[in-house]
Amino acid sequence: MNCMKISLMLLLPFLLFSFVKDTTKHKGLGNVTVVKAYSQSVLGKNVGYYVEFKNNGKSEVDALKWKAFFYDNFDEYKGESEGTWSSGNFIQPIKSGKTTQDLETAWIKNASKVVIKIQKVHFVDGKTIGQ
């Protein structure tokens, strides 16, 4: 019994550390997730970012609004910007199970990483979630 307690006490710190987040992660809203996002650099300068969204819900999405948070390779915060995407004459709404991509400009000095947090989602039926 004593051996089991000791084993458990030695194992507990390893279990706790396995659940600690190492960096900030993308944040979706409703049934829309951020598939991937990465910073675009030219000659060492951040000029923007690429982001891909996926609609995991049943309703089509026709507009998104998000914040992009920028970090350097040390995960130190460097700044933020807002981004939006909307369907229109040539761009179709995001159907259920489908993705869309967007490329945004953002002049954030010394940024090498971007984290996306969706703030608002608008659906073709007129419903909006988020702030």
Mean of the pLDDT values across residues 80-87?
A: 95
- Residue with more model confidence, 3 or 14: 3
Give the model's pLDDT for residue 1.
53
Q: What is the pLDDT of residues 73-83, one digit of tens each?
A: 999 999 999 99
Give the model's pLDDT for residue 6.
53
Q: What is the pLDDT of residues 10-67, one digit of tens each?
A: 544 444 333 333 446 999 998 999 999 999 877 767 789 999 999 999 999 999 999 9
Q: 67: which strand partners?
A: 82, 117
The ranges assigned to domains in the chain are 25-125
Give the model's pLDDT for residue 24.
63
The closest alpha carbon to 92, from 124, 52, 49, 58, belongs to 124
Which residue spans within the chain are E strands per DSSP? 32-42, 45-55, 61-71, 77-86, 99-105, 113-123, 128-130
| CATH entry 3.30.70 includes domain 25-125 | no
Give the span between the Cα atoms of 85 and 104, in whole angstroms: 10
What is the four-CA torsion angle of 53, 57, 62, 63, rounded to 10 degrees?
-50
Give the model's pLDDT for residue 14.
44
Give the span between the Cα atoms of 86 and 104, in whole angstroms: 13
